[in-house]
Structure 1
Amino acid sequence: MRRGTPPPPPEQAAAFGRPAEVEGSFSSADRPVARPRPPLAPPPEAVLRAFAPRDGEAGLGLPPGGRPAPRRTSGGPFWKRDAATDPWRDPLAPSGLGRPAEYVEEAEEQTGPVVVDRKGRRRLRLADVSVPVAALAVLSLLFVAALGGTLSWYLGRTADQEPLLTPGTQLSAVSPGITRQPGSVADIAEQVTPAVVSIEVRVGESGATGSGVVVDADNGYVVTNNHVVSGADGVEGAEIRAVFSDGSGSPAQIVGRDPASDIAVIKVDKPGLVAAALAEGGDVVVGDPVVAIGSPLGLAGTVTSGIVSALDRPVRLSGEGSDTNAVISAIQTDAPINPGNSGGALVDVTGAVIGINTAIASLGGNGTTGGSIGLGFAIPVDKVRTIAEQLISTGTAVHASLGVQARSVTDGTRDGALVVNVEPGSPAEAAGIEEQDVIIAVDGEPVGSSEELQVAVDSKSPGDTVTVELVRGGGSSQEVQATLTQA
């Protein structure tokens, strides 16, 4: 207990005080006794012979043939001076405590912008850079930038500039030019375009455009569609005008028109016309390349190309403002056809006309309006030739008639044309055809719709006798003979 320290309270002395019979800090009676250190076994004889110290030396001796280490003292071991007290080097060395731990004092805080880190590297500490020095560095950079900009501007002003214009310049040209093989689209267009005309129809304040094909150059006959010119027929003040490929024009008159086939013929008075060659329709096959020439959207002399994508396609025609009501067995093509192409030419690779463009399939139109979606239809040239010859000869065309009205039906396995009305005194009534009969074939050719029935009958002439196959009351099919009359 320190001198001057007040005695502890009785409670603390009773709990932590030394018993009266105990002397000293701890009792020696029950103090644990350290276990005696076992004697070390003597080293083997070979180790003693090899490493025993020499006479008068302490610690381990030199190995046989060994040399003293540099700066060795006369009485020390051969590797370090503290080897005599290192038990790891000399097992017989006494144990001892080394120096107490040393704590490296933190280096005093360095001043100035340049400091030395713990690895001895010199670094710039921006926080200690003075304001004048920083301002001087910024001004130096601004001066260098201003000097560089001034020099660039001056050199740009004084350097010679390339002239904007070079008189007498001549650009290179490819020689020889593009060659056009016979049968190319360009060759076909060059042959046929002079025979295709634009037709302008004006009735009062309204007007329409279409196309036509010259079929008789000597007499000035031009074939077109009925729906192109029908609005001007018999209307006082109506005007029809044909515009040719050379830009000249001529008034035109209607020779005849046929709403049942959508064919019409007009006549123009112009010398030096070029007539188109009409092909044999039976030579056309699916996949043949074709070229369409006309005035779509009023753009005269437009040429588009494609292929024949289908044949004998039944298409019903009916144009707004026209009395056209026809079903044709059309040539289908993917050559782009648009409003204004009607009445124009569809030609093959020889330049011969294989059809008269008449309708398009459109998502927003009725076959005469809207835009092309790659499905156009043309009246086959054989039909055009037959109707045009009749119109030029008599002004009217003749069609065969069976005398029925029908609509398309199917039972899921077979299609046909359901008879909904039989005209009194017609060939159908004479043949015994009744209402609700389903016609499935004409002269052995299948009939799958009312349009196909009309096409099959229209392909015949008045007075022809045809075999009609029909189904009555869901029973088996039967055949009847009917002699067609004039429609």
Structure 2
Amino acid sequence: MPDRLEPRRVVAPEPPAGQQAAFGRPASVPGSFSGDRPRPPARPVPPPPPEAVLRAFGPPAPGHRGLQEPPSGRPGRRRTATGPWWKADARSDPWRDPYAPAGLGAPAVYPEVPAEQTGPVVVDDKGRKRLRLRDVSVRLSALALLAVLLVGAVGGGVGWFLTRSTPESPLLSPGTTLSQVDPGITREPGSISAIAEEVIPAVVSIEVRVGEAGATGSGVVIDGDEGYIVTNNHVVSGADDVEGAEIRAVFSDGSGSAARIVGRDPASDLAVIKVEKPGLVTASLGTSDSVVVGDPVVAVGSPLGLAGTVTSGIVSALDRPVRLAGEGSDTNAVISAVQTDAPINPGNSGGALVDASGALVGINTAIASLGGAGTTGGSIGLGFAIPIDTVRDVAEQLISTGSAVHSSLGVNARSVTDGTRDGALVLNVEPGSAADEAGIRERDVIIAVDGERVGSSEELVVAVDRHAPGEEVTVEIVRGGSSRELRATLDAA
């Protein structure tokens, strides 16, 4: 068995004489360095801070260091070594102990960047890598270009193949039948479509021709057995007693018939014509008392010559005094109109305004335009119809006698107001009239008729026309600043 090796102490060789001369300790020097070694200059001592700074930021008392105590003099509880974040090095860590002394570390050191860098990937002065496109290799560029060309060629080839292999469909396809659905549409009674279906056969278009001139309007059949049709006076007045004038009624089925004027009433803008055609559909006549503001209504007529046109709306006002003066006619009327927002246009004149049950409640006669009420212009949502009670009364008189009679007070007036009260100022009084006999004078202001307030000259005409000729009424007037009541017996006009 071989002997175990005994440990041997290795002694470092003596350094050469040159190294000893350069780095060795001189024999006469007890310390590490020579005492006559030059020393660095002393660091200048900064001047003491101002007293105000010392009071504000200095230690609270001699022997203390770090931050001052809070103004209350009660320092917060210091954490002990048992705390989870309180370590032995807390006194040298400024983020844990506010009383620890501050210290600065070494500045950041960046690796030295060579002046010239080759290749597409370079490093900037902060050690970050950047891609430099100008150094991308030619091989890589050529490979990318080749890939793009290959993809384009494959896509174009596939598209050409698909379009070439798909046959073009024929332009025409004889015997084609399109699909359709047959939903069960339910139209409830009272719907606009149901009303239109009932009323349209009773509404006619009226064509008037005088020489080379012509006009169109509408009418409503009120007696199908005898062929009586009611319309507006201004629709047919131009053809009355004019040689060669023609009036023609065109019905909903497209047939037509010549018509004759039975009678006209310029004071109400109503007229009745007659056709010799049996079996006409007659409109159902309602009553004015059944109409209230807000009721739905439907207007049927031939606006702009378009026969069988149906529009809908509501009753927007009642008893609206409207003065009518038809252009080219002798109409000079003031009516207590039914106002509606159902669209009414020229050509609707004489047509039907019916309620939700299909009953006739008015004859459309005028529309409001920016220039006032009249029959010109287009619908702006304000139309006026003659109430059915007035239509029935005048039409019966025209069919019976060819003319209609109205009540008259015998005055000409205009609307006035004194700022607190409105009325009708009497401009002149007809001699021997009801007003003359009652003692009404010029410059009197009429403010009521039989207890009904009068605020304008139009309201005066409407109030008088509500009474029958020969009826005695009470007229309240203002004269000389005081009011008085007079009794007048209305005349027939």
TM-score w.r.t. structure 1 length? 0.74
The structure 2 residue matched to 1:305, chosen from 297, 306, 312, is 312
What is residue 401 of structure 1 aligned with on the other side?
408
**Alpha-carbon offset, residue 141 of structure 1:** 2.7
Indicate if the aligned counterparts of 2:218 and 2:348 stay in contact, CA closer than 8 A.
yes
Matched, 1:416 2:452: no
* Structure 1 runs of 4+ with >4 Å offset: 32-35, 102-106, 112-124, 129-137, 159-170
Aligned length: 390
CA offset at residue 261 of structure 1?
A: 0.5
Residue 173 of structure 1 is matched in structure 2 by 181
Distance 1:34 1:422 in 2: 130
Q: For residues 436 and 480 of structure 1, what CA distance do their matches in structure 2 show? A: 15
For 2:177 and 2:114, how far apart are their aligned partners in 1? 81
Instruction: Supply the RMSD in Å over aligned alpha carbons.
Output: 2.9
| 1:37-56 mapped onto 2 (5 Å cutoff) | none
Aligned to 1:363: 370
1:361 partner SS: strand
Q: 1:261 to 1:121 in 2, by over 3 A?
A: closer
Q: Is the 8 A contact 2:340 2:382 kept in 1?
A: yes
- Residues 264-310 of structure 1: per-residue CA shift (max 9 Å, x gap): 00011112201111112212111111111111111111111111111
**CA distance in structure 2 between the aligned counterparts of 1:235 and 1:302, rounded to whole angstroms:** 30
Instruction: Give the corresponding residue for 1:316.
Output: 323
1:165-209 CA distance string (max 9 Å, x none): 776555241432x11111111111111111100001111222111
121 and 349 in structure 1: CA distance in 2 versus 1, 3 angstrom threshold: closer
Deviation at 1:146, TM superposition (A): 2.8
Change (3 A) 1:119 1:232: same
CA separation of 1:158 and 1:387: change in aligned 2, threshold 3 A: same
Match for 2:487 among 470, 478, 481?
A: 481
Structure 1 unaligned residues grouped into runs of 5+:
1-31, 36-101
Q: Which amino acid aligns with 2:222?
A: V
After superposition, give the CA deviation of every residue in 1:332-353 in whole Å (9 maximum; x if it has no partner).
Answer: 1111111111101111111111
Task: Note closer, same or farther for the CA distance 1:160–1:408 as it changes in structure 2 (3 Å cut).
Answer: same
- Provide the rounded CA distance (Å) in 1 between the counterparts of 2:123 and 2:453: 106
Aligned to 2:27: none
> So what's the TM-score if we normalise by structure 2?
0.73
**Structure 1 residue 361: Cα displacement:** 0.8
- 1:347-382 C-alpha deviation (Å, 9 max, x unpaired): 111111111110111114641111111111111111
1:152 deviation in Å? 2.1
Would the alpha carbon gap of residues 233 and 107 (structure 1) be closer, same or farther in structure 2, given more than 3 Å must change? same
Amino acid at match of 2:194: D
Alignment of structure 1 residues 314-463 onto 2, 5 Å = 314-364=321-371, 366-463=373-470
Q: Which residue of 2 aligns with 1:235?
A: 242
**SS in structure 2 opposite 1:398?**
coil
**1:38-437 matches, cutoff 5 A:** 107=114, 109-113=116-120, 125-129=132-136, 134=141, 137-138=144-145, 141-159=148-166, 169-176=177-184, 178-364=185-371, 366-437=373-444
Residues 319, 366 of structure 1: 8 Å contact kept? no
How far, CA to CA, are the matches of 2:121 and 2:266 in structure 1? Answer: 105
Deviation at 1:133, TM superposition (A): 7.0
Q: Which residue of 2 aligns with 1:18?
A: none
Change (3 A) 1:403 1:137: same
Does the aligned pair in 1 maintain the 2:111–2:127 contact within 8 Å?
no
CA distance in 2, matches of 1:129, 1:282: 97
**1:65-90 deviation line (CA, Å, top 9, x unaligned):** xxxxxxxxxxxxxxxxxxxxxxxxxx
Distance 2:234 2:407 in 1: 22
C-alpha distance in 1 between matches for 2:111 and 2:180: 86
- Helix, strand or coil for the counterpart of 1:440? strand
Q: Secondary structure at the match of 1:157?
A: helix
Higher deviation after alignment, 191-200 or 104-113: 104-113
CA distance in structure 2 between the aligned counterparts of 1:446 and 1:34, rounded to whole angstroms: 117
1:275/1:130 CA distance change after superposition, 3 Å: same
Q: Which residue of structure 2 aligns with residue 23 of structure 1?
A: none
Supply the AA of the counterpart residue of 1:340: G
Shift of 1:329: 0.6
Structure 1 letter corresponding to 2:413: A
> Greater CA radius of gyration, 1 or 2?
1
Q: Separation in 2 of the partners of 1:122 and 1:218?
A: 105
Helix, strand or coil at the partner of 2:179: coil
Partner SS for 1:430: helix
Q: Residue 322 of structure 2 contacts residue 373 of structure 2 at CA under 8 Å; is this kept in 1?
A: no
CA distance 1:158–1:259, shift in 2 (3 Å): same
Identity over aligned pairs, percent:
75
CA offset at residue 213 of structure 1? 0.4
Contact 2:298–2:311, Cα closer than 8 Å, also in 1: yes
Is the CA contact (8 Å cut-off) linking 1:220 and 1:273 kept in structure 2? yes
Contact kept, 8 Å, 1:419 with 1:435, in 2: the verdict is yes
Instruction: Give 1:398 shift.
Output: 0.8
